Amino acid sequence: MSCSKGKLSSLFTNPERPTSSNSSKLSSLFFTTQVIPRPTSSYPTTSTEAPSPSVPIQTPLEHFLQTNCKSGNFTLNEALHYFDRMILMQPVPPMASFNRLLGGLAKSKHYSHVFSFCIKLTSSGLLPDFITLNILLNCFCNVKRVCDALVALGSMIRRGYKPSAVTFTSLVKGFCMEDRIDEALRLLEKMIKFQCQPTVMTCGTMINGLCRAGKTSVALRLHEDMSKGNGGFGVYCKPNVVTYGIIIDRLCKDGMIDEAKDLFLEMKDRGILPDVVVYSALIHGLYYYEKWEVGKALLHEMVHCGIKPNLVTFNVLIAALCRRGNVKESSDLLKLMVHRGISPDLFTYNTLIDGFCLVGCLNEARELFHTISSRGCQPDAVSYNVLINGYCKNWKIHEAVNVYEEMIRRGVRPTVVTYNALLTGLFKLGRVQDAQMLFAEMQTQNVLPSSSTYKILLDRLCKNDCIPEAMEIFHTLENSSSCELSVEIFNSLINGYCKARKLEIAWDLYHKMSKKGLVPDVITYSMMIHGLCIEGQLEKANGLFLEMEGKGCAPNIVTYNTLMRGFCQNNNLEKVVELLHKMSERNLSPDNSTTSIVIDLLSKDENYRKCLDWLPTFPASSELKAEVTNFKSFA
DNA sequence: TTAGGGTTAG
């Protein structure tokens, strides 16, 4: 188990023996011996006057704790201000008041402030209670510091508190967030030993973790066991709208739309009414997979059931329209949501900026980007990335680089997406040196390249005749664990070497990928066949074609065309016809490239006569047959 | 006063 090396985590290294230097820090929350508790009052008040029994007067502090903290409608400065006041009050407000404030901060994801406020609490001699510790433990989990959360759990137990389902649910989430799914599952089943029954929220958290980890089938099994009440996974709670929603969303994201719809019907059959989240998730899936009519019908059903579309629903619809290039209707939808009193958020603006970029309306995209701040949001990395990508895709690298520089000037940290977009843009324009310099800058900015970055680099370097540079990066990757070598990376290099007529090196790479446990795909085979054909090694090319079929890798239209072109150049009409028959048997339709190959073949005088023999049984599409017949009549 | 779900970029 590895603990994070942050300042706070180091406080937990020796919980039994806190030193005087750390007793005022977070760790002291867990040591009653180090804290001299100050008395706390039984009600939160800032007023010296007793409230009137008939007209309760709420002080600003009470209003802040009971209203703002609950709704999340407060600024950090306000929280800091009230916290400092509370801590100095005499008598000190009850811990429940501090918990309200800490809970509000945690809900607003101000985790680091929860940590610092907890340190201040203990250094002021106040003793956190069970709820405080649960809030703290949950915050540790949310910042992927399960190690510290477990120390908090241990201390909680030592202080005589019995961990509740809330405690365990936080820990399950923490394990899931650290990709420790098996440990999360074990904890779920262990809860019972602590005489704590998992609740539907614990199960929802577990199901969500399983889904995110790609273990949808296990999530479905747990959900089914919940429905059956058979005690599987040690749980006895029934599924609810949230558990159904999580699985429906996952199935949609996995493209299993029909299964998602079935589950949606099942929940309704069981009397669990879908809410706006479930409808939005399913509508998103339906629109994403182009099932527009069904999506529209579901939207109508939702409204008919009295469920109002919310901000996320509108964002889903705006994104769907943008993907279709219908940015005009998207903008109309934006006006409609504002008219309905729903304020657009950064998701809305980023989606619309992307929509404008997709249809090439870069000025409109830029204009909207510049109005984000005046609309109450601040552009984030996604906003910048969307715009940079828009410029790169439209060959406007100069503008893209300007946006990148503005991004850095404004203190928005570029991400790997930023660099991938810029690298692609630079390579597209053949600016290899600039791309290489940007790759170096990416490293100085401490942005880790992703597998996509390496794919872009290797692919584009090869295509720009920089094979040695590509190989240098490849060798670095071979000797490091920073990025897994993939079939795509090998394909880029194989393609480069085939085109450079260095077939032997391409062969070496082809064999190397198998040794590394990678399975060549249809692109690998097609490229190798292409390379062999160029070198006139048709027999070997045909052998590889048969080998790929034998290994269960189905040749596609590109593979067939590549090999047919090889045989065509070798004037081997019989072999081309054989391949056309094979294509027909495999239900593969010839494309324009196939037609041109056949026409080229026929245009050779010696083939024309032969053509008359096999044309009546020609296994090709009507378009290809028509082309051939045209050629015949013309000839 | 503490725990779970849906929307944007390569």
The pLDDT of residue A623 is 65
Inform me whether the pLDDT recorded for A31 exceeds 50. Answer: no
Residue A201 predicted with pLDDT over 80: yes
- How confident is residue A595, by pLDDT bands cut at 50, 70 and 90? confident
Minimum mean pLDDT range among A263-272, A360-369, A528-537? A528-537
pLDDT of residue A594: 84
**Of A558, A554, A561, the residue nearest A594 (C-alpha):** A561
- Averaged over A225-243, what is the pLDDT? 95
- Strand B proximal to A381 Cβ, under 7 A: yes
Share of chain A above pLDDT 90, in %: 67
| Angle A199-A309-A269 from CA coordinates, rounded to 5° | 50
* Interacting residues of A409 by C-beta distance below 8 A, sequence separation 6+: none
**HEC string for A348-405:** HHHHHHHHHHHCCCHHHHHHHHHHCHHHCCCCCHHHHHHHHHHHHHCCCHHHHHHHHH
pLDDT at A39: 55
Chain A 386-445 residues whose Cβ is under 7 Å from strand B: 386, 389, 415-417, 420-421, 424
Length of chain A, in residues? 635
CB atoms closer than 10 angstroms to residue A213: 16
- Could you tell me the distance in Å between the CA of residue A435 and the C1' of nucleotide B8? 26
Residue nearest to nucleotide B3 (CA to C1'): A166
**Mean pLDDT, to the nearest integer, of A124-138?**
95
Q: Count other C-beta atoms under 10 Å from residue A228's C-beta.
A: 10
A456 CA vs B10 C1’ separation (Å): 10
Query: How confident is the model at residue A611, as a pLDDT?
Result: 63
User: Confidence class of residue A2 from pLDDT cuts 50, 70 and 90?
Assistant: very low
Nucleic strand B contacts from chain A, 261-300, CB < 7 Å: 274-278, 280-281, 284
Which pLDDT score, from 0 to 100, does residue A30 have? 38
Of A154-163, A435-444, A504-513, A573-582, give the lowest mean pLDDT range.
A573-582
**Lowest mean pLDDT across A187-196, A325-334, A389-398, A586-595:** A586-595
Q: Torsion-angle region of residue A449: left (phi > 0), alpha (psi -120 to 50) or beta? A: beta
Q: Any idea which residue has 């039994």 for tokens?
A: A16
Q: Determine contact, residues A275/A308, Cβ cutoff 8 Å.
A: no
Average pLDDT over residues A606-613: 62
- Contact call for residues A589 and A579 (beta carbons, < 8 A): no
pLDDT(A501) > 60: yes
Rounded distance between C-alpha atoms, residue A349 and residue A259, angstroms: 32
Token pair of A348 as six digits:
């809305």
Residues near A421 by Cβ (< 8 Å), separated by ≥ 6? A385, A388, A389, A392, A400
**Which is more confident, A217 or A43?**
A217
**Which residue in the block uniquely carries the two structure tokens 């709420």?**
A58
Give how far Cα A389 sits from Cα of A277, A290, A315, A396, A397, Å: 30, 24, 20, 10, 9
**For the residues A67-71, what does the mean pLDDT come to?**
87
Query: In Å, what is the separation between the CA of A115 and the C1' of B1?
Result: 16
A198 CB neighbour count, 10 Å cutoff = 25
Q: Which of residues 65-124 of A touch strand B (CB under 7 A)?
A: 66, 69-70, 95-96, 99-100, 103, 106-107
The pLDDT score that the predictor gives to residue A10 is: 25
Query: Is the pLDDT reported for residue A571 higher than 90?
Result: no
User: What local confidence, expressed as pLDDT, does residue A569 receive?
Assistant: 85
DSSP letters for A308-350:
PP-HHHHHHHHHHHHHTT-HHHHHHHHHHHHHTTPPP-HHHHH
CA A171 to C1' B2 (Å) is 13
Q: Which of residues 195-214 of A touch strand B (CB under 7 A)?
A: 199-205, 208
Residue A319 beta carbon within 7 A of nucleic strand B: yes
- Gap from A433 CA to B5 C1', in Å? 47
Can you state the percent helix, strand and coil of chain A, rounding each to 5?
A: 70, 0, 30
Give the mean model confidence (pLDDT) for residues A230-240: 94
| Domain map (residue ranges) of chain A | 549-635
**For residue A518, is pLDDT > 60?**
yes
CA neighbor of A93 nearest in space, from A108, A82, A105: A82
Mean pLDDT of chain A: 87
Q: Per the omega criterion (within 30 degrees of 0), is the bond before A379 cis?
A: no
d(CA A122, CA A51): 30
Measure the CA–CA gap between A275 and A477, rounded to whole angstroms. Answer: 48
**B9 C1' to A321 CA distance, Å:** 16
Q: CA torsion sign, A21 to A26 to A31 to A32?
A: positive
pLDDT at A97 over 60: yes
Checking if the pLDDT of A50 tops 90, the result is no
How confident is the model at residue A230, as a pLDDT? Answer: 93
What does the pLDDT average to over A440-448? 93
